[in-house]
Amino acid sequence: MLSRDFLKLAGLTIAQRILPPALMNIWAQAADAQAKGRKVILVTFGGGVRTSETFSPAGLRNIPRLAELQPQGFFYQNCLNQGTLSHFNSTASIVTGNWQRVDDFGFEAPASATLFEQFRKAHKAGPLDAWVIATNKSFAAMGASSQTSFGLPFGANVVLPKQLLLDAINDIVKKPDAADVANRDAVHQRLTSLLEEGYEGVGWTIFKGGRQMDKNIRTTLTRALGEFINGPEVPTSGDELTFFITREVMREFAPRLLLVNFWDMDVAHWGSYSLYLQAIAKTDRLTGMLWDEVQANPKYRNQTTVLVLPELGRDGDMNTANGFLNHRSGDPSCRNTWLLALGAGVNKGATDKPIRHIDVAATAASLLSIKPEGMAGSPAREILS
């Protein structure tokens, strides 16, 4: 599909940007002879979700796929977020193994080395072997830290699918000579609705990396995306777009380390409980589809561990009528989440023993045979076989 051509160009463009010229000679080798071994996919229920709407007796109806998969893996009933209850800091804590307290809106990189940097440096992995694919528009800096001994040369490719969609809207659909768009007005309306359907709504802008793209490559990839968005699998939400691009990255590059950030649940800030529940059900469905792709893809089957967890919870209803709206109170409903581990190297079972968000990166590092530097978290020994 042309969408794969688009993703290939997008990935190579990003990799060129983060790879110093002195290391360019290893790029082709990394692409052609990808490191073999365990693969790890981190999936975050971004935006925040409470246990009461997920892994509680009443909440299981919202997550039928995860409920079905739970007996196949290891389930932690208590996964604790003891850090700053913001989206960037919560996810950055998950991927660094240290509690992060940087800018809440992603204008600063994580202060300690990410799992992506640790992995690439330890295994001399190429730039196409670690990816972040995030619906959350503030995650552009999630792939690499500000640590001088790590940083961008060892970072992950960060793809913001909605950003690429915005480029397509601006560069293809709005142009009067967009010959490859059969019904320009209808396509424009449909794609714009994708950008506006989440709580963050409008306000998407070209992030810094987009401005640095080579003009010819950017023209080529947006033209390819223009043909893709008229195809049969055109997504209807930001998270569906994130899933589709994640699947294409897996099929095209088969990276060993991947963070997938779903985000539609943050629609809870709008105050609609029904939309919040619909977003939970959608994330559950997409996570199940991602697991199905792992099982169907020979490059992932039997060698991939998937770790699924909320980046944070949401406020409880004890002191407010609509606690699900926000996630800043620090109460147990906000800090106590869950983690489900599936796939290779995972024992089956469940425990109420607490695990922390910062233990996730340490666990992934152990699965990837990394001896991490400076992680405060500890590997989850219960799940490691």
Q: Is the residue at 228 inside a domain? A: yes
Percent of the chain predicted with pLDDT > 90: 55
What confidence score (pLDDT) does residue 29 get? 42
Q: Give the pLDDT of residue 353.
A: 95
**pLDDT for 321 beyond 50:** yes
Residue 221 clears pLDDT 50, i.e. is over it: no
Classified as helix, coil or strand, 59 is: coil
Confidence band of 380 (pLDDT split at 50, 70, 90) = very high
225-251 mean pLDDT? 75
DSSP helix/strand/coil, 356: strand
Confirm whether pTM is higher than 0.85: no
pLDDT at 110 over 90: yes
Query: What is the predicted pLDDT for the residue at 159?
Result: 83
pLDDT at 249: 85
Residue 377 lies in a domain: no
| In the chain, alpha helices (H) | 2-18, 27-32, 64-69, 87-96, 115-123, 161-168, 184-196, 208-211, 215-228, 238-253, 273-296, 332-335, 358-367
CA separation for the pair 120, 294 (Å, rounded): 22
pLDDT at residue number 188: 60
Q: Each residue of 352-361: pLDDT tens digit?
A: 999 999 999 9
- 16-30, 110-124, 324-338: least confidently modelled range: 16-30
pLDDT of residue 230: 61
pLDDT tens profile 94-109: 999 999 999 988 889 9
**pLDDT for the residue 45:** 95
Structural domain total, the chain: 1
Q: How confident is the model at residue 31 (pLDDT cuts 50, 70, 90)?
A: very low
Q: What is the pLDDT averaged over residues 290-304?
A: 97
What pLDDT sits at residue 93? 98
- Is 237 part of a structural domain of the chain? yes
234 CB contacts (<8 Å, ≥6 apart)?
190, 228
How many CB atoms within 10 Å of residue 196?
Answer: 12
Q: Does residue 208 sit within a domain?
A: yes
Give me the mean pLDDT over the 163-171 stretch. Answer: 64
Give me 216's structure tokens.
């010819």
- Domain holding 15, by residue range, is 2-367
Q: Does some domain include residue 384?
A: no
Mean pLDDT value of segment 295-303? 97
> Does residue 290 carry a pLDDT above 70?
yes
Buried b (16+ CB within 10 A) or exposed e, 45-76: bbbbbbbbbbbeeebeebbebbbebbeebbbb
Choose from 9-23, 205-219, 263-277, 299-313 the range with maximum mean pLDDT: 299-313
- How do 304-310 and 336-343 pair as beta strands? antiparallel
Is the pLDDT at 234 greater than 50? The verdict is yes
Q: Does residue 224 form part of some domain? A: yes
pLDDT at 30: 41
Tokens of 206: 């070209």
Work out the average pLDDT over 137-164.
88
Interval 56-77: pLDDT, tens:
999 999 999 999 999 999 999 9
Residue-level pLDDT at 228: 60
Q: Is 315 exposed, middle or buried (0-12, 13-18, 19+ CB in 10 A)?
A: buried
Mean pLDDT of 299-306: 97
Instruction: Give yes or no for residue 247 having a pLDDT over 70.
Output: yes
Structure tokens, 299:
């490059």
Please state, rounded to an integer, the average pLDDT across all residues of the chain. Answer: 81
**What are the C-alpha distances in Å from 82 to residues 93, 101, 308, 335?**
10, 11, 18, 7
Residue 25, pLDDT > 90, answer no
Strands 355-356 and 74-80: parallel
- CB-based contact 85:337 (threshold 8 Å): no
Q: Would you say residue 312 has pLDDT above 80?
A: yes
Which CATH number does the domain housing residue 99 bear? 3.40.720.10
Note whether residue 381 is domain-resident.
no
